[in-house]
Amino acid sequence: MRVRAGDLARAAGGRLLAGLSDIELGDISIDSRSIRSGDVFLAIRGERLDGHDFIAEALRKGAAGVIVSDSAALPVTGAARPAPVAIVVEDTTRALQSIAREVRRRSGAQVVAITGSVGKTTTKELTAAFIGTRHDVARNKGNLNNHIGLPLSLLELRRRPDVAVVEMGMNHAGEIRTLVGIAEPDIRVWTNVAEVHAASFASIEGIADAKAEILEGAGPGDHLVVNADDPLAMARVGRFPGRTTTFGMSEPADVRATDVEDRGLDGMRAVVRTPAGSSTLATPLIGTGQVANVLAAIAVALRFQIPLAEMVRLAAGIASPPGRGEVVRLSGGVTIVDDSYNSSPAALERALRSLGSDRGHRRRIAVLGEMLELGARAPALHRGCGRLAVEAGFDVLVVVGGPAASGLAEGARAAGLDAGRVLTCAASDEAAALTANLVRGGDLVLVKGSRGVRVDRVVDRLKAEWG
């Protein structure tokens, strides 16, 4: 998809201050370090850095154009050097979003947008993998799912794939609405509602209302895939004007799992029943929540005529990405379940229930970091998870974080775990050293916590010690 300077200025809602309107431009980047010759540098003003401070660097690296909100930040070019394309806009973040929406419209791709409190990234990866067996698929990388990351991902549609599978995250009300307005999805997926980013909401009902923004702007030709087992989601989908497909383990779900078997570290097994037939599914992904993620992906992929047998085959070989439930087997029979990328009460509950029953290891150790952004409900939610760790069958608990995290320790002790087996650390480096000394051959170690707590350092230390 060719982009000319004049078209780019119109899409950005700005004016062409320098350069010719018919000049063809390369990719758009907000990072001056990634600029290649012919690219466009878009100067985003963030919380810590202002892209306008890096314009000169971008031009030195060969940028053919810049998009700015402050024309005074543009350097004066010498007479011997042609002036680059310069586009001035009111707000560069909104300009990025407008450009991404225009690229999305011109690409002709069908867009699948996934939101929910838990499981967005795994559902995205599964969906893209399934659809990718028959179609050219683009997806947002990692967790580029916010008001800047999603537009950057949509810019990849310049290569005109058949389908784009993207995830949409949020911390506050109104954010999903903004993302839906940018991506204009054809298929919307709502995985669930849980206590995530609860500090920004008065209740879980408020979280559900914010997630329900995925339904906005839809028409009769759009499609919704939603979790039949989530009453908060189901209570809000009645106003969706298009077609709805449900997934889950409930009897009325269109794509349903029955005879679900939790096999611990070996993953999950279930019978999947769909309008296109039934099959036995086995996946190495850990926990019943992963079954729901697979079902959601199957429900979407069926819309693209992907055979169920092919999806079942793929699911059997899909492993969790690093930090998202990855099973790491080390020397001495030590096994780590690296779930350090993030945490929430619902996700932690699933992990504890699935792994606590393991009897193939000498001890079950849980290294649990504080779950952030839970607001006033944080102490109670942490205490509940601490109790659950003991009830699920964990022998030792290492707690990492601030005052809220102490609730994990309180809950574990209240559930009867001996105080000597409940250890607390203020920071991840301390926890890494403590856990490295604690672990013995044959132990199973679950490591899970919010990104800001950095319990991934515990995983790195154990790999170094036992690798």
Mean pLDDT computed over 267-289: 95
In a domain, 100, yes or no: no
Mean pLDDT computed over 207-233: 97
Could you tell me if 56 and 11 lie in one domain? Answer: yes
Digit-coded pLDDT (tens) for 130-185:
999 999 999 987 678 899 999 999 999 999 999 999 999 998 999 999 999 999 99
Could you tell me if 16 and 157 lie in one domain? Answer: no
In a domain, 102, yes or no: no
Contact at 8 Å (CB) between 220 and 244? no
Could you tell me if 414 and 285 lie in one domain? Answer: no
The pLDDT score that the predictor gives to residue 81 is 46
In a domain, 254, yes or no: yes
The pLDDT score that the predictor gives to residue 77 is 53
Could you tell me if 80 and 217 lie in one domain? Answer: no
Contact at 8 Å (CB) between 186 and 111? yes
Which CATH number covers residue 289? 3.40.1190.10
Which CATH number covers residue 347? 3.90.190.20
In a domain, 133, yes or no: yes
Cα separation, 88 vs 451, in Å, equals 36
Digit-coded pLDDT (tens) for 347-375:
999 999 999 989 999 999 999 999 999 99
Could you tell me if 186 and 58 lie in one domain? Answer: no
Radius of gyration, CA atoms only, the chain: 24
Q: Which of 315, 347, 373 is the last residue of a domain?
A: 315
Q: Which of 315, 346, 361 is the last residue of a domain?
A: 315
Could you tell me if 290 and 405 lie in one domain? Answer: no
In a domain, 355, yes or no: yes
Could you tell me if 365 and 311 lie in one domain? Answer: no
Digit-coded pLDDT (tens) for 390-422:
999 999 999 999 999 999 999 999 999 999 999
Could you tell me if 222 and 331 lie in one domain? Answer: no
Digit-coded pLDDT (tens) for 11-27:
999 999 998 899 999 99
Burial 286-310 (b: 16+ CB within 10 A, else e): bbbbbbbbbbbbbbbbbbbebbbee
Q: Which of 288, 315, 342 is the last residue of a domain?
A: 315
Q: Which domain holds residue 424?
A: 326-466
In a domain, 131, yes or no: yes
In a domain, 299, yes or no: yes
Which CATH number covers residue 49? 3.40.1390.10
- Our count of domains for the chain comes to 3
pTM over 0.75: yes
Could you tell me if 142 and 47 lie in one domain? Answer: no
Cα separation, 448 vs 450, in Å, equals 7
Could you tell me if 138 and 253 lie in one domain? Answer: yes
Tell me the pairing of strands 15-18 and 40-42: unpaired
Could you tell me if 334 and 459 lie in one domain? Answer: yes
The pLDDT score that the predictor gives to residue 458 is 98
The pLDDT score that the predictor gives to residue 233 is 97
Assign 342 a pLDDT band (cuts: 50, 70, 90). very high
Could you tell me if 205 and 64 lie in one domain? Answer: no
In a domain, 244, yes or no: yes
The pLDDT score that the predictor gives to residue 99 is 97
Cα separation, 319 vs 316, in Å, equals 8
